[in-house]
Amino acid sequence: MGELVDQVDERDRVVGVVERGAAIRCRLLHRIATTVCRDADGRFLVHRRADTIPLFPGQFNWMLGGAVAAGESYEAAVARELAEELGVVARPRFLLKFLCEGVISPYWLGLHEVVVTGPVRPDPSEVAWHAWVTPAELSGLAARDSFVPDAREALARYRALAL
């Protein structure tokens, strides 16, 4: 059996537990937790996803994260994902949550942010390339077809916060 996630409703209330693959195939609402990494100079960490990842292989993204496991909080999931994908141990701060229609399946997306002050050690099975970019450079990358589509909506909502 694959990874188990909470199935949630339109208000992000748990209604059951399902296998993540089934949630995607059946378009059942579930939770995704992501983190935006910034450095002390305000630049964003952008990465290219590994070519071996099943969802959006080789595409660029400005968020790191993944599915929230059944019974796990958004905050626990982003801390776990950050450690797994970047080797960074931190407690990202919650920014917003929204219902994302998603290209592959709908889901609730919890967006968090962390300032990274030390080195990053990306997991090569997840991250093929990474760089710190300015907000203008991020905009240029986000306009490309090779940018994860769902990440564009998150970027627009992030910018609307006027942080």
Q: Quickly count: other Cβ atoms within 10 Å of residue 46's Cβ.
A: 21
Give the separation between CA 104 and CA 128, rounded to whole angstroms: 22
Say what the pTM is: 0.93
Ordered per-residue pLDDT tens for the chain, 163 residues = 689 999 999 999 999 999 999 999 999 999 999 999 999 999 999 999 999 998 899 999 999 999 999 999 999 999 999 999 999 999 999 999 999 999 989 999 999 999 999 999 999 999 999 999 999 999 999 999 999 999 999 999 999 986 5
Q: Distances in Å between the alpha carbon of 147 and those of 63, 120, 158?
A: 11, 21, 16
**At a CB cut-off of 8 Å and minimum separation 6, what does 129 contact?**
47, 48
